[in-house]
């Protein structure tokens, strides 16, 4: 497989979600669950549109002191969440990867 890439999958409860994989194939963003494939594809389009704008990122710290980020749409809805990072630098590198990779990433449907 060639990366970066959005990969659509179906959860055990038959809902759709996607992961954004960076150029190194690591998952850098995971979506919420969607009830339809079309809604999931619309979520990908929203990530592609909103990823370049730094103001759309919420940078947070979990109760276990790990760091993460959420990508928000223009309506402030969460459209993707990162993995947990051990440092703010690693988290910020993850944000940079989403900004760089999401707009032109291809889509593979494995649902």
- Please give the tally of structural domains in the chain: 1
CB atoms within 10 A of CB 102: 23
Per the structure, the complete domain to which residue 100 belongs is given by: 5-109
Q: Is the pLDDT of residue 1 over 90?
A: no
- pLDDT tens per residue, range 83-109: 999 999 999 999 999 999 999 999 999
In three-state secondary structure terms, 17 is strand
CB-based contact 22:4 (threshold 8 Å): yes
CB-based contact 79:73 (threshold 8 Å): yes
Q: pTM of the full predicted structure? A: 0.93
């Amino acid at each position: 497989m060639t990366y970066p890439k959005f990969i659509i999958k179906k959860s055990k409860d038959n809902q759709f979600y996607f992961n954004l994989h960076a150029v190194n194939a690591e998952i850098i963003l995971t979506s919420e669950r969607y009830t339809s494939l079309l809604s999931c594809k619309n979520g990908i389009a929203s990530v592609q549109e909103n990823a370049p704008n730094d103001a759309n990122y919420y940078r947070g710290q979990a109760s276990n002191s790990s760091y993460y980020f959420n990508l928000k749409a223009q309506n402030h809805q969460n459209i993707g969440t990162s993995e947990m990072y051990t440092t703010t630098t690693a988290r910020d590198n993850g944000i940079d990867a989403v900004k760089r990779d999401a707009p032109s990433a291809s889509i593979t449907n494995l649902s």
